[in-house]
Structure 1
Amino acid sequence: MTENLNASGSATNAGIDYQQRVAAWLLVALLFGKDISRDFGGLNNNSPIKNVAFETNDSVDDLKAELNDKSVVYLQVKRSINLSTNVNSDFHKTMKQFIKQFVSHKHSKNYFVLATSSDTSSKVSKDLFKILESIRLNPHSAG
């Protein structure tokens, strides 16, 4: 029992540490007026950050970066995540958060980022990324 609690606590701490690292990266970009459009594909060119918010009340609640052009980047941060259709999985919950945020603000210029580390499954970091990138770049997509 104690081993399970320790493992769970370690995983939680690793996730919090990773989220803090992503937040620190955003804050450095804010401090130096860095154009983040190359770091997040699909943003307008010349997209410096105006404000960073943590643990917000939004559906996508980990981090929020408001940009100078009034668009918003919502980030859900997961140190590691697996592609899963299980309704109780982190992946399913994250996708529900993205959809809820999109539907509630669909006329706004919002971007959604699943920030994850190299510890995540290749089905998410490579396969899902390729699929979403091809949809984003397709001029005939619904986006």
Structure 2
Amino acid sequence: MTDWAKLHAPTLADFEVLAEEAYARLPEEFRALCEGVVIRIEDFPDDETMETMGCETPFDLLGLFRGIGLAQGGAMMQTGQFPNMVWLYRRPMLDYWAEHEESLGHLITHVLVHEIGHHFGLSDEDMEAIEAAAT
């Protein structure tokens, strides 16, 4: 039985491990789209990101992809270009997790797949299939 009185919220390092595990479970074909993608874990989006994305509070954004996806013609990395990056925001994800009935691992996988998938032009149906294959 879990002793809830002794548990702490997952740290940034815990989220990194969960994100790495989620990424490793994704189908190989999907990971091939993501070659070189960098996954960053932060507590919240920065002010510039919040303004750009039109967020009212730091809890409005669970994750973000920045880079050039295949849908934008970015199959090859250009000199001086930053790598494609996915940010997962720990505190908003914990807040969402506390209010919904899904595991934290599933939520992290969902956000990771959707941030990458939308940027690479995948449909919602494609992303649902990728998530199903990762569980």
Report the TM-score when normalising by structure 2: 0.30
Larger RCO (alpha carbons 8 Å, 6+ apart): 2
Which is richer in helix?
2
